[in-house]
Chain A
Amino acid sequence: MKNIIKINSGPNAEYPSKFDAIFIEDSLHEVMLLDNLLAKLFPALNCGWIQNAKILLELLKLDTLPKSKVMFLDIKMPDISGLECLEIIKSEYQNYRTPIVMLSSSEHAKDMQRAYELSCNGFLVKDANLADFREKMTMAIMYWTKMNTIK
């Protein structure tokens, strides 16, 4: 991994306290694709990776989740799905104000509906081919890390 730093929970975990973007994604392959993309297009960007929703919720609980300008949350994850995770964050961690953008490989209408009900900040469908996906992710990362302002 060139550009993405893995964030672990636990007493000995070491990672920066601040990122441009954090990805919650269970698939290593997806992360590798992302890493390749980031290395080529955003070599200066600080990105973190949390492998599943359980770790994310632990970090939130311990208040050790690093700050970020945006969080990309994958929908399809084992055990706690992205939507379940979103629901917990929105109901239990109302102080967590980082924009959350959902990622999904399908346009499943129900998922989208549910995500917006839970006040997600965006919903990106992962394109079937890499070129399209790159284009989409470039714009999304540009927007959320460079153009968007949060306080």
Chain B
Amino acid sequence: MADSIPYYSEPYDLTNCESEPLINIQRAQSYGELLLCDLNFKHWYYASEILAKALNTTSIIDLVKGLTSLDLNTLDITSNTTFIEGHPKNLIIHRNEAAYTLELEPNAAPGGIKLSTRQLQQSILTISREYSFQEFIDKVCTEVRNITEYDHVMVYQFDENYDGKVIEEKKTEERPTYLGLKFPNTDIPKQARDLYFHEQVRIVYDTSGTQTDIYSNTLIKDKPALDLKGVSIRGVSPIHLEYLRNMKVSSSFSVAIIHENKLWGLIACHHTSKKFINYEIRDWLKFVSSIISSNLSKLFKYNSEVSVGSKKLLRKQILEKILASKDLADSLLNSDHSIMNLIESDGAILKMGSDINCSGNIDNDSLNVELENLFEWLSQQEDFNVKVINDVKSALPNYDFGETIASMLIVQLSHLSGDYIIWTRQEKQIEIQWAGVISKDKHFDAAKNRLTPRKSFEKWKQLEGGKAKEWTTQDIEVAAQLKREIREYLYERYNEMTLLNQELKEAYEEMETFSYSVSHDLKAPLRSIEGFAQILKEDYHTVLDEHGLQLLNIITSSIAKMNDFIADILKFSKLNRESLHIMKVNLNDLLDQEWRIIKAIKEHENAVLIKPDLPTVYGDVNVISQIFANLMGNSIKYVLKGEHPKIEIQYYEKEGFLEIHLYDNGIGIPPQSRSKVFEVFRRLVSDEEYPGTGVGLSIVKKGINRHGGTIKITDGINEIGTGFIFTLPTNAQFLELRKNKTIN
């Protein structure tokens, strides 16, 4: 005799309402019949209502033959699942160690479809072609709708929380559109999602709720438990049925899309009247499921390859920019190919040495203290390549970056010097369009003793804020790659530099030999010429006439000029190659000393110097003396006929350096010629008017540049004369920094 068995094989009530035991539903769907029996077809264990009744009078073998015209005795049942086409019903036999499970389902009717193998093959070919991701999803949707003829076919994609978003749909005009809407993960609870790994396709034939009871054969005491995993006809959750009814769906069909062992998404098919999908088409859809899964891998790989490829190109361009630029920070942050193009971000911070540079939405001035603390904190961290801080507020609670920095991606360029690149993202308000109002309250219906799903699927907008978009593995990989390439680049630069240094050293040595020879080998014959010309004048003036003596004078004055040239060239070249001896220099004493030397010459006794007490600077005392000697010497030399030379010195203290102004009342330098006078041997006046070598100001400029300073020319006293404005360091550290930055 037979007993009806309960809906669930285990209790399901208010206590576990959120985890409805789907797999234990002990009902069969109304489209067919179900039978469990022993492996000899002798005794039945469980059966759907009609069969249970029939089995009172008929044997299993006769019953199946009557419904399908198939002879069980002649069937070869070796595999787990066997499908046999019969008339009027098809038979699916599942085999395990203890029992056969037989599903009897319509061949094609009622409302069903039957397709030719050719049609199915054609569909497979269509979706297997090469497409972009969107094209592929579109084609899949179209083909599934063509084959199933369902009113509404959708492709859902799950996010990390298994909220599903409709990314593609094909439908009749009457069906509401769900494209772009999100369905919360509670719509397809975890236990339902897990089942998709066993059953890639799932049909819900009739949402009206009519499901067939299953009877247990009471005559057999020792029988296996009812296990309907993998059995298509297994009954459906009443909550899910109500959910589908609320959507005005009569038949539903879904295909799992599995990607990298995760449920990536679903193809959900809805039909407003009852429509059966038979085994063959279900089997085809399983095949489609696996094609989609394998194609996704290929598409994602292709997409990320395209993306990685273009990022690689960008990285190459960035590195080329760096190569072309002398300012690494500037080119990383401000060029057309900045690091912000490399990784999607709202801001970027670059710390190199003691410089912090920002771009994007980050304002260095307002965040200065926070950033310095951040870098201090980073320098205390363990050595790392890339660090991700996705939620800055909770990870760094002591910092206040406001809304500008909600997450960070940090690359450590050098732990030793504490150099970092940081990409930042700000808080983003994300609008989510849900299918229906999503509330946290569960609707437990006491009368039905279960949860009830929501009634409306109208678009409902929700804003989510307070967080930034998370960094992807690809972002992190790109950051790490950039670090590697910068390091490689720097290493190459280092090698080039070493080589250049070597060449420079050799060039210096050559230069040294050269100047050594100049001083000895050029000077010696000059000494002879000059010496013997003098001796001629002294010892033979009686045998020479006036003209002869004049000629001798020309010889000696020419030699004097040549000696001046040689002396100045040697000074200039010495300034280029010899290292500075940096020390504290009392500028006041130095100036007084130079002035005394100038005043010691009789022609200069009318010269006037007006100066305040000058502070201390840092530098090479000999070079600085030379600078002032040359500048003041020029002021005294290039004076208007009849004028008394006058020099005024002023100074302004700036951060790290002194700005010195030196004005005179001399002949002045016209503005258009002011840049020329620093060139070696460049003179603006003739030798007859004002003798000179044209090297003095070159020495001045070189000397100031070597101290990391600058010099420019302005007007002198009362708009006549010349003014020099130049800088000298007042702190040794500053000098080091400026020296490295000054080119030439």
Contact = CB atoms under 8 A, between A and B. Distances in A.
Interface of A: 27, 29-30, 32-33, 36, 76, 104-108, 126, 128-131, 133
Nearest to A129: B530
Contacts of B667: none
A33 B520 contact: no
Given A27-B524, A30-B527, A33-B531, 11 more contacts: A27-B528, A29-B531, A30-B524, A33-B528, A33-B532, A104-B520, A106-B516, A106-B520, A108-B516, A128-B559, A129-B563
Given A36-B535, A105-B524, A106-B523, A130 B530 contact: yes
Nearest to A128: B563
Nearest to B574: A109
A36 B536 CA distance: 11
Contacts of B563: 128-129
A105 B556 CA distance: 18
B519 interface: yes
A129 B524 CA distance: 11
B663 to A, nearest CB: 33
A144 B124 CA distance: 114
Interface string B81-118: 00000000000000000000000000000000000000
Given A36-B535, A106-B520, A108-B516, A128 B528 contact: no
B520 A76 contact: yes
A39 B177 CA distance: 122
A61 B516 CA distance: 32
Contacts of A131: 534
Contacts of B534: 129-131
Contacts of A36: 531, 535, 539
A106 B531 contact: no
B1 interface: no
> Which 8 interchain pairs have the tightest Cβ spacing?
A106-B519, A128-B563, A29-B528, A130-B534, A130-B531, A33-B531, A105-B523, A76-B520
Given A129-B560, A130-B534, A131-B534, A108 B528 contact: no
Contacts of A130: 527, 530-531, 534-535
B314 interface: no
9 contacts: A29-B531, A33-B535, A105-B519, A106-B519, A108-B519, A126-B527, A128-B567, A129-B559, A130-B530
Q: Which of B524, B556, B559, B560 has the most CB of A within 10 A?
A: B524
B527 to A, nearest CB: 6
Interface string B264-296: 000000000000000000000000000000000
Contacts of B539: 36
Contacts of B526: 128
Contacts of B516: 106, 108
Given A126-B527, A128-B526, A129-B560, A105 B532 contact: no
Contacts of B524: 27, 29-30, 76, 105
A23 to B, nearest CB: 15
A33 B567 CA distance: 22
Contacts of A105: 519-520, 523-524, 527
Contacts of A126: 523, 527
